[in-house]
Structure 1
């Protein structure tokens, strides 16, 4: 599984632009073929080209899956002497260019790029230059952020909150306890570490047993809303843990809606891009003739992969009304 950061495309209207209503077709044309556009950064001797390949979903032609590569020099040893070798790791980028949709998903893969913002910047700069040159309007790719304050969202959804889901920490126990201790000085009205040890023991046992998932909290009675609770020892410890591990809490409403929120709006928490987990091996099937086990990739394999990709993009849909976008541009 890989994590995909959620971004969205924004068209920038200009006084001298023309064919503004055709902007999605213009954008789509840049990805018709691998060679339809060249991605690069820098000029002259400093110019670096980033190779890419594209695959258009047959079941949803407006969705394009792109393999985006980065040439990296890695140190090796040849004949007992230090040398450099070329590596070309890649990440996946998925672009949803269906009518009125602006979603871009970028795979988090540090082996290829240090962060997803780097990929977004490369794409934005080149696409912006191309669209402005040909059609006189601009373009940029921007991140979608998690709502940062759990309590504000919880208050708005007070009568409809069904449950809270807390992430299972990846940090080791000592680091978590150190961060918990640091939080004590902040004087949060929900701070409590009185049962932190037992909670971490349970979560560690879950991790050791290779059980994946969230720690879900629900009210005792199904028809009762989960009201804001800063009084119970149990909830206070969970909220303290969530802030310490710096992971979003999922608030689930009675109608199935999900809000992913950080505990508060500290400055450190204002740059959190929404992420989704997805099986990147499905994307590999779209570009390779064989699976990892050596068997041939059949049409039904690709169709299944396409269905999963479409489901992913539907879950992170960034929809914009044309008139609304033109007024805001």
Structure 2
């Protein structure tokens, strides 16, 4: 799993095969469900969507066989995200509903059978080895819940946790919202796979152009955000200009022939009394102002070109 999360799928595949060969002989074992999770992640990383779907379903089935509810819920979550990646919102919604139903059943069962819950907790604490396994599993689940799987940036939940804590602590902080220009056209003209690669490349450029203590995150779709700690709006603007230039100068033809990508960025500095919502609203307004300015500049350039061509064609 670590190899997959690092993007080293070529190393992950043989390690997975070696591990599968060492699984317990009995079919009903929680490690079978865990193996399904790894296979789903590997197929996802390689964009092998049918295999990813089957592996996610295997995770749920194997977890149910041994009544391992956390892994079963994780399988439903992964299946939902896979369907969303494939542009299947209804299937993704069905998976999320199944996940919510599972969570509700767990709550009901917990209330109805407190004794069984206590016994499960005692069993879970039976040995140091059991506790270590549960701790490792919790770390994996936490990583999954706080990281965007496509770009490996912080997800919206993680960003909001960091941002609210930073705002509550006071001090200078700026926030920059980033939107990929005409991203729908990228998907329509070059494919959704190219669109995913564009988002991944922009995430990589973001990581290269922010400081170690800043937070780069993907909010949703083609929307990103930077939380710049200790940065005034002027410093934030400079960082945004560097990132904008890096995106414009990036060789997008390596992703798809004829592909051109640009971004719009709006930055705002925290003011007294700001909440996360008000700070994001000002950043959002600045971003759309940048979009309008870029559009006006493009239209003016077209007009000047047309005028020049007209002058050249006019009679002496």
- Same fold at TM > 0.5: no
Q: Which has the higher helix share?
A: 2
Name the TM-score class by shorter chain: under 0.3
- Using the size of structure 1 for normalisation, the TM-score is 0.23
Based on CA coordinates, which of the two structures has the bigger radius of gyration? 2
Q: Which has the higher strand share?
A: 1
- Using the size of structure 2 for normalisation, the TM-score is 0.23
- Greater length-normalized contact order (CA 8 Å, ≥ 6 residues apart): 1
